[in-house]
Amino acid sequence: MARIVNSTWSMIFAIVATFLVALVTADDTTTSKFFSKSSIWFLPFRHATHGDHRPTPSPLLSHTAYSDISPQKWAISLSYRTTNGLESPIPCADFDGSTGTCNLDNQPLPAVDVTDKDSILISYKTIVPNFTNFTSTIILRACFSSYSSTDRPWRKANSNINEDFTKNCSVKITADLNITQLPGDDGGFGGEFTWIPGQASAPAFYNIQAVEVCEDGMYCAYGRGPATYEIIPINSRPDWLVALVSCLMCVGPVSLVSFIVIEKIIKKKK
């Protein structure tokens, strides 16, 4: 009976330790998505997600390609707000993936920390001066930069807009944004939206894209900003988890060795 009990406990410890080791050694995307699930076990570690709406695309949009609505008619500009009070660093428009900096004076890439709930102010404005289609709405997406999509087929860009929304521009920011006339002497039309990246955001380099949906439900214009920014993901491997895994990795073998030693001592006494 004692042998069965000890063997059972050793097996339980081994299974738990294996599961936690897998969590600790997994990539940030996997573990951050794990912690974002609605499990009551990890409820204290969840953070609010802002702007991750999930609009259902119209069947009319399924075959629209970027080439059908080219050239680009929307200009995108970004500014950033971080918890330490720094605001509006210069957006990186010429990112060098080999050095992780912008080519312009090697300035650091703007970093958005998910844990600190940093935000991005996205401004979209028409390139065409006489644009006045107030019945349209705007969809905003975060798209993986070419550096973060290289050798990753699940992030590969696609000429079809809906297909692109499932891979390269899969990060949903918001939809149904209105178009208004902008103040100032130069006029123009557009708007802005403040986005706080969600807790499941993958660590990568991104650009922002705007797609216009006309009142007939068709994509009718788009624009992708050149500025690149980096997402700093939520800490998916807290210190307590690493410590727990270390302890369980030791408990399993120690329990097994202890069982073998105790069993030999009992046999000798008999």
97 or 140: whose pLDDT is higher? 140
Provide the mean pLDDT of the chain: 75
In terms of Cα–Cα distance, which of 101, 72, 47, 121 is closest to 219? 72
Could you give the CA distance from residue 7 to residue 194 in angstroms, rounded to a whole number?
55
Give residues with Cβ within 8 angstroms of 137, minimum separation 6: 175, 176, 177, 178, 179, 212, 213
User: What does the pLDDT read at residue 29?
Assistant: 44
> What is the band of 53 on the pLDDT scale with cuts at 50, 70, 90?
very low
> What is the band of 251 on the pLDDT scale with cuts at 50, 70, 90?
confident
User: What does the pLDDT read at residue 213?
Assistant: 92
Largest CA distance in the chain: 99
Domains of the chain: 2-44+237-269 (no CATH), 48-232 (2.70.50)
User: What type of residue sits at position 56?
Assistant: T
Could you give the CA distance from residue 145 to residue 136 in angstroms, rounded to a whole number?
27
In terms of Cα–Cα distance, which of 226, 192, 234, 207 is closest to 36? 234
pLDDT tens profile 169-197: 999 999 899 988 887 666 678 999 999 99
Helical axes 2-25 vs 239-269, angle rounded to 10°: 160
Q: How many CA atoms lie within 13 A of 29 on its CB side?
A: 5
pLDDT of residue 39 exceeding 50: no
E strand segments, the chain = 74-81, 95-96, 101-102, 111-113, 119-126, 137-144, 171-177, 180-181, 189-195, 205-213, 219-224, 229-232
Kindly give the pairing relationship between strand 205-213 and strand 229-232. Answer: antiparallel
Average pLDDT of the segment spanning 107-134: 82
Could you give the CA distance from residue 31 to residue 124 in angstroms, rounded to a whole number?
33
Q: What angle is formed at CA 176 by the lines to CA 55 and CA 116, rounded to 5 degrees? A: 80
Could you give the CA distance from residue 100 to residue 118 in angstroms, rounded to a whole number?
20
